[in-house]
A and B are shown apart, each in its own frame.
Chain A
């Protein structure tokens, strides 16, 4: 199985901050990397697919980059509704695996 490791596991930030979350795969996954946002009590929501493509309806303050083994999710200016847990997920092979999550909290 491919292991997906996110860092940090949690972070505290203020409204307006630029936030970056990283995800590292245990082997190359090309650009088969997705990012999801999950708010408490809710299902995950797809933000970014294929490493850098913005899902329809998602704010342009979210962006993704990377290929191979190293990927980043960036929130350009953190908004109150962005406080949530973020997961990366590889789709290069079976089983599809998720990172352990990064919780973004209010400072």
Chain B
């Protein structure tokens, strides 16, 4: 069974760069139809997709964050990472990593990590 686990700082200061890693185990990391994505959820609010990347480097980003975000994949370690620079309090959220399956007939997030809360505060 596929398992995803986020790791990251917890608390950070405004203007810093958020770096999160998602470790993937129990499944294939290099399938052609599997991308690896990040979704966030501000406390008590809804879900926002940040972006997704395939193991071959194909990347989709949310245009609202594109200037500040970078997703990378390390196939040798079966993990992928999120960097979000110049954070502010509005970036405070639970950050989830997820497997993003993209097929011709459907496209969705079919396995999720447990999430990690990142708080931006001075």
Q: Does B33 contact A (CB under 8 A)?
A: no
Determine the distance from Cα of A100 to Cα of B61 in the docked complex, in whole angstroms: 20
Complex contact A95–B108 (CB within 8 A): no
Having A44-B112, A98-B49, one finds 20 other A-B pairs with CB under 8 Å, namely A32-B106, A42-B114, A43-B96, A43-B98, A43-B112, A43-B115, A49-B106, A49-B108, A49-B110, A55-B110, A89-B47, A89-B108, A94-B63, A95-B49, A95-B63, A96-B49, A96-B62, A97-B49, A98-B46, A101-B46
Closest Cβ–Cβ distance, residue A69 to chain B (whole Å):
18
Q: How many residues of B contact A (CB 8 A)?
A: 21
A positions within 8 Å CB-CB of B: 1, 31-32, 34, 36, 42-46, 49-50, 53, 55, 87, 89, 91, 94-101
Complex contact A94–B62 (CB within 8 A): yes
Determine the distance from Cα of A48 to Cα of B107 in the docked complex, in whole angstroms: 11
The secondary-structure label for the interface of chain A is loop
Which chain A residue lies CB-closest to B110?
A: A46
